[in-house]
Structure 1
Amino acid sequence: MIEIWSYLSEGPLLWLTATLVAYLIGDGIFRATGRQPWANPVLLAVILLAVMLHVTTTDYATYFEGAQFVHFMLGPATVALAVPLFGNLAQVRRMALPMIAALLIGSLTAMLSAVAIGWAMGLDGATLLSLVPKSTTAPVALGISEQIGGSPTLTAVLVILTGIIGAIVVTPLLNLLRVKDWRARGFATGVAAHGIGTARAFQVNETAGAFAGIGMGLNALLTALIAPYIAGLFL
């Protein structure tokens, strides 16, 4: 059995298959619980994969080598955000000013609050800079982190955590705040919790999902432009 596992673990399809199966299990649990926010399928998939890697004593580099196709698909998925933007172009034009204001406030708050808290707690150097793009979709966040001197690996972890936490708390939080406009709910989710939050928004309401995709794409663009200046404030 050990020899069989050693052979399989080196195959590129094993970890890609494990990733897909883990997500399908997570999604099945999510549906079985009535789509409860705490049963987020991405969170469950991450837990399952982490347990599997620990039990099999597999290092992350080996896992990533096999599952990197999923990482590759993040790029096309990000480009595809142009689709909901084009499909809702008329509404976007009518709401241009409030959306720009929300984007600026949301993006700046996401970056400044995280970095300021980290700085106040004694973080510095690459660790602190890795916090800057944590609310941006992963392909963009990794590039930004590398550009400003952060750690792309740490940024990837922070991005995933931000998305999962956002997806879990967004619906009950917005319900508590009595935000009823699906466009506002979706846009706020996309700006704060990027792709994982956007996926959650689509599960709740199609309009919210479309505007979450728009918020996610615009936040990625804005963060790429201003992140170097934010990083400069704390260097």
Structure 2
Amino acid sequence: MIEQIVTNQYFLLALTFGIYQGAKMVQHRTQSILLNPILITIGLVIVFLKVCDIPYDTYHESAKMIDFWLKPAVVALGVPLYLQLSQIKKQIVPILASQMMGCVVGIISVVVTARMLGASREVVASLASKSVTTPIAMEVTQALGGIPSLTAAIVVITGLIGGVVGFKLMAVGHIYNPMAKGLSMGAASHAVGTSVAMERDEFVGAYASLGLTLNGILTAILTPTIVELMS
């Protein structure tokens, strides 16, 4: 009876949302950047699955309902972007230049680092698109002959790192311009960084969604060419 309950897809779905909501409340009260709700949720769900001996495939069936809303959620980020459209038009040249540079440096740096550490071609291909949202990253990885499941894990880790330490690093680097902060968070840590930016400031969040969008487009276009030239 208990096994049927804990493996029920609706129970697992409710558990995921419940843990996430609880984690958000904890972070709101403590104001600790280390208590990132996504990080806590991932950790506690893994512990629950291990303790209850629930296969990942069983959990994944329930998580498909969450996956379904991932793409619409990314599209919805265009709303705050639209609200800042007039301001963005005035800065379009520096925005495009910075995003192009950020995309190229992001791809080259991870490819060079992976190869220096002895990573195989498949692993390198899986890491190249680490800074874009999961659907785009997995499509790029498949085109490069990489491992989509590895890409998905790396994308989550990249987003979590950016969400936890991104604003702190920019403070250390004396980066205070809200446009630069937003673009950096969106370009470096995709949807997770954009979500954190939205919670801090709507203006910063709008530019984070722009950074996410532009970096996604540029990564999809440039990654195969850059990886091929570096091979």
Q: Please classify the TM superposition score into its range, dividing by the shorter chain length.
A: over 0.9
> 1:44 is matched with which residue?
40
> 2:161 is matched with which residue?
165
Alpha-carbon contact 2:80-2:202 (below 8 Å) kept:
no
**Which of 11, 16, 20 in structure 2 is aligned with 1:14?**
11
> 2:114 is matched with which residue?
118
Structure 1 window deviating more from structure 2 (156-165 vs 198-207): it is: 198-207
Q: Give 5+ residue unaligned stretches, structure 2.
A: none
TM-score, length-scaled by structure 1: 0.94
- Summarize deviations over 1:68-121 as a string: whole Å, max 9, x none: 111111111122232233221111111111111110111111111111100111
> 2:210 is matched with which residue?
214
Give, in angstroms, the shift of residue 11 of structure 1: 2.2
Q: Give 5+ residue unaligned stretches, structure 1.
A: none
Listed as ranges, the matches of 1:65-84 within 5 Å are 65-84=61-80
Give, in angstroms, the shift of residue 234 of structure 1: 4.4
Give, in angstroms, the shift of residue 9 of structure 1: 3.9
Q: CA RMSD in A?
A: 1.3
Determine the C-alpha separation between the residues in 1 that align with 2:189 and 2:11.
Answer: 29
Determine the C-alpha separation between the residues in 2 that align with 1:13 and 1:133.
Answer: 32
> 1:183 is matched with which residue?
179
Once the two structures are aligned, what percentage of the paired residues are identical?
Answer: 32
Determine the C-alpha separation between the residues in 1 that align with 2:111 and 2:11.
Answer: 38
**Which of 99, 102, 122 in structure 1 is aligned with 2:98?**
102
**Residue 134 (structure 2) pairs with residue 138 (structure 1):** yes
Alpha-carbon contact 1:134-1:155 (below 8 Å) kept:
yes
> 2:59 is matched with which residue?
63
Determine the C-alpha separation between the residues in 2 that align with 1:5 and 1:125.
Answer: 45
In structure 2, give the amino acid aligned to 1:162: T
Determine the C-alpha separation between the residues in 2 that align with 1:21 and 1:10.
Answer: 16
Determine the C-alpha separation between the residues in 2 that align with 1:189 and 1:182.
Answer: 11
SS in 2 for 1:150: coil
In structure 2, give the amino acid aligned to 1:11: N
In structure 1, give the amino acid aligned to 2:33: P
Alpha-carbon contact 1:145-1:155 (below 8 Å) kept:
yes
> 1:25 is matched with which residue?
22
**Residue 227 (structure 2) pairs with residue 231 (structure 1):** yes
SS in 2 for 1:191: helix
Alpha-carbon contact 2:7-2:54 (below 8 Å) kept:
no
Give, in angstroms, the shift of residue 57 of structure 1: 1.5
Alpha-carbon contact 1:189-1:197 (below 8 Å) kept:
yes
**Residue 148 (structure 2) pairs with residue 156 (structure 1):** no
In structure 2, give the amino acid aligned to 1:32: R
